Chains A and B, each alone.
Chain A
Amino acid sequence: MRDRPNSAFQIVSNIIMILVVIIVVLPFLLLLMSSLTEETVLVANGYSFFPQKFSVASYAYIAKSGAQILRAYGITILVTAIGTVIHILLASLMAYPLSIKNLPFRNALMFFVFFTMLFNGGIVPSYLLWANTLKVKDTIFAQLLPNLLMSAWNVMMIRTYFQTSIPDSLYEAAEIDGASQFTIFRQIVLPLGKPILVTIGTFAGLGYWNDWTNGLYYIVRNQDLYNIQNVLNNMVSNIQYLAQSTTSNTAGALAAIPTTGVQMAIAFVAILPIMLIFPLFSKYYAAGITLGAVKG
């Protein structure tokens, strides 16, 4: 859309969008300020955009005595890294054959992948399978395997990209040169498919980084396997438990809850990496959203 500069509509839309940006930013600012408020001030005045007294005590606490928090951070990073790599690999390996037009049984295989997007059994059978039959409960596999390791939706997006962006003639030339399918995959498909693989990588990576449901369902006793989101969630559960508990035997739960300032600091630390690398990956992420919605 073009417009004469400084027309009334220009000014109005900029004002509205600046308000929108402020509304987006303020809650994060509140989170940050709350984590930087001195604890006594916080208790007296509550969370505030302009704390009377600043303090980095919450962050010092995390760095010094937050062994559980640091371990959880490590789990998040480890699981995100491994999970994302496997996700990209599995999805692109699956997408490549589907992008070959004369592959025998191609339609049947497509339907096999596609049907999982239409129908799912829901959490009950899924939980019973992973927890009781496959026994991933309280193992690191609980964070890695259920739901996040591959997605039919992503396979479809990669397939469409391969099919439209990699010319068949390249495959033919490679085959004439005697290249095996695995060589073709490694030396032609992966390099040429890089843009879509980066996009899928941001989806998968963010999925792992933000996941708290696998931990909620499958990490029950071994809290050493909590990721950072599980730690945050667990603090809320403990507070709820305290509020609803009528017995006096709540010392354990009470001791497990850091101060409100520390809670906000952990939350901020959990989103900091996303903030920092956001400028790098937002382009790919946004492209993925557009591609997925309109092309499927």
Chain B
Amino acid sequence: MAAPKASDQVGSKMAKFKRYLPMYLMFLPGAIYLIINNYIPMGGIIVAFKQYNARAGILASPFIGLQNFEFLFATPDAWVITRNTILYNVAFIVINNVLGIAFAIFICNTLSKKLKKVYQSAILFPYLMSAVILGYIVFAFLSQSNGIVNKSILPMLGKDPINWYSEAKYWPFILTLANTWKGVGYGCLIYISTINGIDPSLYQAAELDNATKWQQIRYITLPFLKPVVITLVIMSVGRIFFSDFGLFYQVPRNSGLLYATTNTIDTYVYRGLMHSGNVGMSAAAGFYQSVVGFIIVLVSNLSVRKVSPENAMF
């Protein structure tokens, strides 16, 4: 596009238009997809204020104000799903970060490059499994009639088999364990790359000063990790109102007896929409999640910007 530079004002405007038009055309297909997949559903959250009628569609369904919300918050479910969603997230954030940092330190401390690679791959691998597979794996352990826990481990300890899929009290531990097994590799990888970026001469200097390994971790490694940890934690806190639908739907095998400890906002919305046919209450719960979730994301990002501006999303 060197030629039109010498032409007059109109010509240069035309040239600019001609120059950038292909760029907008490239942007367009993705934009259309985002409009359909994201923006239209954003507008669709008004369904929470309507008495949804499938034949009329969202726009033509009658407006009923806050009725759906009144029904939702009159049930004990609203409290249970909020509590479960937040408490599980808190547990996951603490455990995954503490273990992730510990494993990252151990892995980076390994001298053998080969072993290092083995550890790193192993810890990432479960992260690549679908929730359905995770559900099957947990089932192989906990199945009432065939599970290895009931058939081999508990008898070996002289204990009676437990009906895992109908006793809600065990599930906070089971789900936390399953989530740790699957998810710890994600944060760990990020911490490994941070530790790899630390200047090795710092450790050499520390060793010359006869610093113990613990002192090296305490005064070199952890301070370097601190901003990354804070960023990751705040980012997870931003997602505290959203749960991993797969984990809470697949791993307890959708067992109704476990809802007290396994129902989260996401599974509640799904069941209301697809099974009990209660679109109104489901939509109200979804709206509650979207809006409160949005506020938390904004607040948490403002906090990231304070701690380490280069990691803030905006």
Do chains A and B interact in one complex?
Answer: yes
Cβ of A166 < 8 Å from any Cβ of B? Answer: no
Cβ of B190 < 8 Å from any Cβ of A? Answer: yes
Closest B residue to A21 using CB positions: B122
A164 → chain B closest CB, angstroms: 13
Cβ of B24 < 8 Å from any Cβ of A? Answer: yes
Flag if A278 contacts B38 (CB, 8 Å): no
Cβ of A251 < 8 Å from any Cβ of B? Answer: no
Contacts of A263 in B (CB 8 A): 136
Q: In chain A between 266 and 296, which residues have their CB closer than 8 angstroms to a CB of chain B?
A: 267, 270-271, 274, 278-279, 282, 285-286, 289-290, 293-294, 296
Closest A residue to B201 using CB positions: A2
Assembled-state Cα–Cα distance A21/B256 (Å) = 34
Assembled-state Cα–Cα distance A134/B32 (Å) = 14
- A181 contact from B22, B123, B143, B147, Cβ within 8 A: B22
Cβ of A13 < 8 Å from any Cβ of B? Answer: yes
Contacts of A224 in B (CB 8 A): none
Number of residues of chain A lying within 8 A (CB) of chain B: 106
0/1 per residue, B70-93, Cβ < 8 Å to A? 000000000000000000000000
Flag if B122 contacts A91 (CB, 8 Å): no
Flag if B30 contacts A278 (CB, 8 Å): no
Flag if B286 contacts A123 (CB, 8 Å): yes
0/1 per residue, B196-229, Cβ < 8 Å to A? 0010100110010000010010000100000010
Closest B residue to A274 using CB positions: B128
Cβ of A212 < 8 Å from any Cβ of B? Answer: yes
B71 → chain A closest CB, angstroms: 15
B99 → chain A closest CB, angstroms: 9
Cβ of A36 < 8 Å from any Cβ of B? Answer: no
Contacts of A82 in B (CB 8 A): none
- A128 contact from B38, B44, B186, B193, Cβ within 8 A: B44
Cβ of A167 < 8 Å from any Cβ of B? Answer: no
Contacts of B41 in A (CB 8 A): 120-122, 125-126, 129
Cβ of A223 < 8 Å from any Cβ of B? Answer: no
Number of residues of chain B lying within 8 A (CB) of chain A: 111
Cβ of B63 < 8 Å from any Cβ of A? Answer: no
Flag if B148 contacts A30 (CB, 8 Å): yes
Cβ of A25 < 8 Å from any Cβ of B? Answer: yes
Assembled-state Cα–Cα distance A156/B174 (Å) = 36
Flag if A119 contacts B27 (CB, 8 Å): no
Flag if B109 contacts A13 (CB, 8 Å): yes
Contacts of B131 in A (CB 8 A): 210, 212
Flag if A293 contacts B232 (CB, 8 Å): yes
Flag if B107 contacts A47 (CB, 8 Å): no
Flag if A124 contacts B286 (CB, 8 Å): yes
Closest A residue to B155 using CB positions: A46
Contacts of B141 in A (CB 8 A): 27, 30, 47
- Residue among A16, A114, A237 with max Cβ neighbours from chain B (10 Å): A16
Assembled-state Cα–Cα distance A94/B189 (Å) = 28
- B146 contact from A42, A150, A155, Cβ within 8 A: A42
Q: In chain A between 118 and 170, which residues have their CB closer than 8 angstroms to a CB of chain B?
A: 118-129, 132-134, 145-147, 149-150, 152, 155
Flag if B31 contacts A112 (CB, 8 Å): yes
A143 → chain B closest CB, angstroms: 14
Contacts of B152 in A (CB 8 A): 45-46, 48
0/1 per residue, A214-249, Cβ < 8 Å to B? 001100000000000100110011011000100000
Flag if B128 contacts A278 (CB, 8 Å): yes
* 9 further contact pairs, Cβ within 8 A, besides A28-B137, A286-B120: A27-B126, A103-B20, A122-B287, A125-B44, A127-B273, A149-B37, A232-B136, A267-B136, A282-B121
